[in-house]
Amino acid sequence: MTTATHDEWLHRAKTFAPPRTHLIDGEEEAGGGSTFTVVSPRDGHVLADVADAGQAEVDAAVAAARRAFDHGPWPRLAPAERGRVLIRIAELLEEHRAELALAVSLEMGKPITDAHDIELRAVINTFRWYGQLADKLTDESPHTAPDALALVTREPVGVVGAVVPWNFPLTLAGWKVAPALAAGCTVVLKPSENSPLSALLLGRLALEAGLPPGVLNVVAGDGPVAGRALGLHPDVDVLAFTGSTAVGRHFLRYAADSNLKRVWLELGGKSPNIVLPDAPDLEKAAATAAWGIFFNQGEMCTAPSRLLVHSSIAEQVTEAVVARARALRVGDPLDPA
């Protein structure tokens, strides 16, 4: 858990040096020179003017990923070797945990305790888990007729495009990038234009861990330009997206209009809590409902934004939920309290 004080986090914020360039083929690239501004929701100040990816930058990133997949060492490494690199990424994420947590808190407003203790824990554990799994994925030899042999082999699919939102910028990036790398794929990651800084730092740490150039490329830019270019690109073999249902539909259309790439979608929901009179602990139910809607500022696709309560207990549960909400402390996300 974080033990730094509010003043210590404020000091770190003053010396924080945000990344400003794409990561393409192992190099920091400014692209064509256009930029966009990343503004901290904490206080409205400008964190950085970051290179803005257009078609040319996405093309360069995909070309680097394609070369790394078709001709580079990563897909041809022994799975145990890939696993060791992923575990090294996890170790570097742990070493840079404070810097990454600060980047997340500054760019999207997550309370620093949640950024450090929850967001970073999740992404570190994700890379470590897939690193340990990499050499344990097996092929199959299904039972069939006595005079026949059937084999099922699993191979890396190729270039993976990953587009992730701002509410869990590192966790959701890790959920997409780590399994793709473990399988031997190469990746082009496009973080949200609201929260690109932590993803760019992740890409640099992956290089430091020994990931070959071109295996993980990170391009910063908005959805209608950079996201669309990635979705339509004929050299992207698979695309993974977390975000809104409306944008998910766009990616399915992009796949249809290009190379019929497979698209894996995790889309927003409208989740209810249902509380019935036979609940064994109504106070706990109310506390869980309040936590669920307000955790991560309510910026969750699984946030229970509807509360369906039996009429016989509606007043009791509603009052308890409201009391929990009133007790929340709102303030500077860099304050651990």
Catalytic residues: 266, 301
Instruction: List, in sequence order, the alpha helices (H) in the chain.
Output: 6-15, 55-70, 79-95, 97-108, 112-114, 120-133, 169-183, 197-208, 228-232, 245-257, 282-294, 314-327
From residue 226, alpha-carbon distances to 13, 107, 166, 218 in Å are 29, 20, 16, 11
Task: Render 92-134 in DSSP notation, one character per residue.
Answer: HHHHTHHHHHHHHHHHH---HHHIIIIIHHHHHHHHHHHHHHG
Which residues fall within 8 angstroms of residue 259, CB to CB, at 6 or more apart? 234, 236, 237
> Could you give the CA distance from residue 223 to residue 190 in angstroms, rounded to a whole number?
9
> Could you give the CA distance from residue 106 to residue 109 in angstroms, rounded to a whole number?
6
Q: Coil, strand, or helix at residue 47?
A: strand
Percentages helix, strand, coil for the chain, rounded to the nearest 5?
50, 15, 35
Asked if 160 and 132 touch (Cβ cutoff 8 Å), the reply is no
**Residue 236, amino acid:** V
Asked if 178 and 194 touch (Cβ cutoff 8 Å), the reply is no
φ, ψ for residue 218, nearest 5 deg? -125, 120
φ, ψ for residue 93, nearest 5 deg? -60, -40
Q: Coil, strand, or helix at residue 297?
A: helix
**Residue 82, amino acid:** R
**Neighbour tally for 182: CB within 10 Å:** 24
